[in-house]
Amino acid sequence: MHPTAVISGFRRAARDACAFVRDELAIPVSSLGDDALAAVARTSMSSKVIGGGGRTTEHFAALLVDAVKAVRTERVEGGGASSSSTVVVKYPVSAVTVLKARGGSLLDSQLIRGVALNLGKAAAGMPSRVGVGGGSVGEKKDGEKARGGDGGKSVARIACLDVNLQKARMHLGVQVLITDPAQLEAIRAREADIAKERVAAILAAGANVVLTTKGIDDLCLKYFVEAGVMAARRVPKDALRRVAKATGATLVTSLADEEGGEAFDASCLGTADAVVEENVAGDDIIVVRGGHGGKKRRKEAAEALAAASAASNGGGGDVSAAAAAAAATAGDDEEDDDVFAEGGGATLLLRGANDYLLDEAERAAHDAMCVVRRVLESGSVVPGGGAAEAAISVFLERGTPSLAPREQLAVAEAAEAVLAVPRALASNAARDGADLVAKLRAYHFKAQKAAEDKKAGKSGEEIERDLLLGRCGLDLERGLVRDSVAAGVLEPAGGKVSALRFAAEAAITILRIDDLIRVEPAGDEQ
């Protein structure tokens, strides 16, 4: 048979299978509730270190679902006009910060609302809380209020710096010739004044939290303590970028202005409900709660869209699609998937006995969160345990009689190919794959026949009972066929559709190659 006929059949099979998954197999997540999301997380973790079942698995499943929901993000996409633009909801897993702390058990792991930094404030005299519940007022160790407070009504105004806040020193190789000892003292005083002016510029902009990737010397710390400002030094740059995105701050790499001096613009400040220093697992961490980065982003997008609309209506010309798209996504950058919502992100604190356990838990948690994200973004799930593949195989085989003879053969081969998934599952569990897959196919055949009878107007208890067989998948622990939905074995519908498309395109790509593709056997098999 010519490859063109095979390609046509494979394309037909992939298109029909994807439509069948979306229209017949997919179950809306809204109809199942949060338990379905937890079940999806458990399914993803089933073969990993935190997926052995029991309290640990249940604890992590609920934890990871909450973590993904905490980074919910809304983004405007489409044309510039409000009628043509749409709001797309995303759940960027990269916005979930992971901190690992040795000690305790996996059950001690917790979710922290906000972006957490694995370090404490730079000086003991600084406030431990800034913002809601503390304002620029912090509790000192002796219970005295830090100066500059407003009764806890203000927000945290955060400066994110990649700047050294230390006494200025001459660059290597620079020489200054002096003739009078007083000149030396003047140089030293000027070096101190430069650091003081930098701090004064930051404070004048309204900052009450200062985070920098570099150092802060004792002189600058003194000024911050006197002003009632919380400061942290040696913040990892990646962590600081997260804080900047969560709060809407601009990461400042230099204080130099166009006139040759130094200044700090108040527009570079980010805002959050509170910045709090907490002690977790014996270590001090700084948590940025309720970042306003999402609000700032949507405000900028709305202003850009309004400006584009005004230019279109009053300027006598239309705004181009590119300009409208740029306006709708104001504030985007190359890390578009790492945009924070109003909640300001979340931090997953993992506890464990050793580094190996923590590393494995981090990998398992990331995989589970990616699956939960896919479910939330697609909005639907399909039964797992080979149920979807068996249903697709039966559906394709039942539809082949209506096709052309050559196309029938290609579609039949595609129907047989998808059964490789349940067969592999059974084989990996040391079960009789032939018997289990045959029983699974029989159940799905009855379910699809019952669905056709119901569409034809028939009813009855037997039909309703047979319809439930379409949710059956493999129970490999007991070697049985069971209701995968009731058992909580679920998969994202979007992932299943993507897998079908990619598999079909991979097969078609190979068929289009004219030359022979030969894989040499391994050395032991020659």
> Going by C-beta distance under 8 Å and a sequence separation of 6 or more, which residues neighbour residue 273?
131, 132, 155, 156, 289, 290, 291, 292, 344
The pair of three-digit structure tokens given for residue 419, joined into one six-digit string: 């059964």
Is a pLDDT exceeding 90 seen at residue 3? no
| Lowest mean pLDDT segment, chosen from 59-68, 73-82, 382-391 | 73-82
Q: What is the pTM of this model?
A: 0.68
Report the alpha-carbon distance of residue 433 to residue 390 in Å, rounded: 13
| Lowest mean pLDDT segment, chosen from 8-17, 105-114, 189-198 | 189-198
| Lowest mean pLDDT segment, chosen from 28-32, 141-145, 220-224 | 141-145
Look up residue 358 and give its amino acid: L
With the C-alpha atoms ordered 43, 47, 49, 54, is the resulting torsion angle positive or negative?
positive
Determine contact, residues 61/41, Cβ cutoff 8 Å.
yes
pLDDT tens across 471-490, in order? Answer: 999 998 888 999 998 888 88
pLDDT tens across 253-271, in order? Answer: 888 877 767 888 888 998 8
Whether 3-26+384-525 shares its CATH topology with 118-290 is answered no
Q: What is the pLDDT of residue 147?
A: 38
Let me know the angle formed at the C-alpha of 194 by 190 and 199, rounded to the nearest 5 degrees.
Answer: 145
- Compare 525 and 199 and report the one with higher pLDDT: 199
Q: What is the pLDDT of residue 138?
A: 36
Q: What is the pLDDT of residue 319?
A: 43
> Going by C-beta distance under 8 Å and a sequence separation of 6 or more, which residues neighbour residue 410?
1, 5, 6, 7, 8, 9, 10, 12, 13
Report the alpha-carbon distance of residue 165 to residue 221 in Å, rounded: 9
CATH placement of domain 3-26+384-525: 1.10.560.10
Mean pLDDT (whole number) for 328-356: 63
Instruction: Give me the residue spans of the domains in the chain.
Output: 3-26+384-525, 32-114+294-377, 118-290
Q: What is the pLDDT of residue 144?
A: 38
> Going by C-beta distance under 8 Å and a sequence separation of 6 or more, which residues neighbour residue 93?
68, 71, 366, 369, 370, 373
Q: What is the pLDDT of residue 444?
A: 93
Report the alpha-carbon distance of residue 253 to residue 267 in Å, rounded: 15
Instruction: Give me the architecture of the 32-114+294-377 domain, per CATH.
Output: 2-Layer Sandwich (3.30)
> Going by C-beta distance under 8 Å and a sequence separation of 6 or more, which residues neighbour residue 11?
504, 508
CATH placement of domain 118-290: 3.50.7.10
- Compare 21 and 29 and report the one with higher pLDDT: 21
Is a pLDDT exceeding 70 seen at residue 317? no
Q: What is the pLDDT of residue 329?
A: 43
pLDDT tens across 31-74, in order? Answer: 877 788 888 888 888 777 777 678 888 899 899 999 988 888 77
- Per the prediction, the chain carries an average pLDDT of 80
